[in-house]
Amino acid sequence: MNEEYEYSGATVNGFLMLLIQIIALPALMALCLLNFSAPALPAGILALMWVLFWGGFFVQQPNQARVMIFFGNYRGTFTESGFFWVNPFMTGRKVSLRLHNMDVEPIKVNDKIGNPVMIGMVLVWKVRDTYRAIFDVDSPGLTGFGNNIQLTSANHSAALEAFVRIQSDAALREVTGQFAYDNIDGLHDEITLRSGGEEINNLLEEKINERLAMAGIHVVEARINYLAYAPEIAAVMLRRQQAAAIISAREKIVEGAVSMVKMALHQLEEEHVVRLDDERKAAMVSNMLVVLCADEPAQPVLNTGGI
């Protein structure tokens, strides 16, 4: 079966086997010394077995697993923690089941409308299927034998991390290309990279999980932690955002000014403060709009003549 299953082979408590090994040592030494009563060949075989049995001890911590391989055949995954002894000819490949945290450096990607943006993310992942993680992802050669087998300096954990980083990079590029960086041309109902929030993160997590399932890896969380325009267009897009902000502010100012002028005219007529013809109403409206919409305080001009 090309999937993980529990190891069901024989395992012995490590402390019990250690006691047996210690007790067997003087008996073996006595047997080797009494050559007149025991042939040399059986004594040599027993001595060799005693030495080989030391290779069956191993310690396993919580949230770690050991993939058991017997002469190239997968025999299951051992997940219990403690001190154990197994067949010394059984190869054990250690796999960490703990959470791994990865900070993916910002990369340059084109968004939906072609603008280059810099986007990065933080990723939390763990191994879910040890069979796929060990046998479906290529790793450097091995040194050693039995349960004390060791990977080279570029170990299997590094190979898994490189696989996760490359596939996450590809998924991030795919998701970024489906959305614009920000709302443009008044399309405020579209989801963007800046405003998407949880929707963007959930889609990113889904896409990464699709790519990493082949390696038995599950993404617990994926979050965008860096988002900005690329340096070559950052200044231009900043001016565009400033212009949009100024236009939006001006719209609010004009809307408020018109409302205030309307209220002033209505109260003057309703309370019979003064009677104004259309020409003077137009002049009053013009003056009030200038005062209310100007960036700087207006300079008053006193009329010393007749109205």
Tell me the CATH number at 209. 3.30.479.30
Residue 224 lies in a domain: yes
Q: Residue 296 above 70 pLDDT?
A: no
Across the chain, mean pLDDT equals: 80
pLDDT, mean of residues 249-253:
77
Residues 170 and 288 in one domain: no
pLDDT, mean of residues 227-247:
73
Q: What percent of the chain has a predicted confidence (pLDDT) above 90?
A: 27
Residues 74 and 180 in one domain: no
Residues 255 and 176 in one domain: no
Q: Residue 174 above 70 pLDDT?
A: yes
Token couple for 91: 């190869």
Residues 54 and 127 in one domain: no
Residues 220 and 241 in one domain: no
Cα gap 147→114, rounded to integer Å: 53
pTM tops 0.85, yes or no: no
Residues 116 and 201 in one domain: yes
Residue 142 lies in a domain: yes
Token couple for 179: 């959305």
Residues 105 and 210 in one domain: yes
Residue 282 lies in a domain: yes
Residues 137 and 168 in one domain: yes
Cα gap 208→193, rounded to integer Å: 17
Split at pLDDT 50, 70, 90, the class of 151 is very low
3 state SS of 304:
coil
Give the sign of the dihedral formed by CA 115, CA 116, CA 120, CA 121: positive
Residues 239 and 224 in one domain: no
- Residue 158: predicted pLDDT: 86
Residue 273 lies in a domain: yes
Residue 251 lies in a domain: yes
Which residues on neighbouring strands pair with residue 96, listed in sequence order? 64
Domain boundary among 93, 126, 148: 93
Residue 160 lies in a domain: yes
Instruction: Say how many domains are in the chain.
Output: 3
- Residue 65: predicted pLDDT: 92
∠ CA 211-134-84 to the nearest 5 degrees? 140
- Residue 169: predicted pLDDT: 93
**Which amino acid is it at 100?**
H
Name the least confident of 134-138, 220-224, 239-243.
239-243
Q: Residue 77 above 90 pLDDT?
A: yes
Residues 6 or more apart from 101 whose CB is under 8 A from it? 122, 123, 124
Q: Where in the sequence is the domain holding 282, given as residue range(s)?
A: 235-293
Residue 126 lies in a domain: yes
Token couple for 198: 């949880």
C-alpha separations of 248 from 77, 124, 258, 290 in Å: 62, 40, 16, 18
Angle, helices 198-212/156-176, rounded to nearest 10 degrees: 130
Split at pLDDT 50, 70, 90, the class of 153 is very low
Residue 6 lies in a domain: no
Residues 197 and 286 in one domain: no
- Residue 152: predicted pLDDT: 41
Residues 219 and 249 in one domain: no
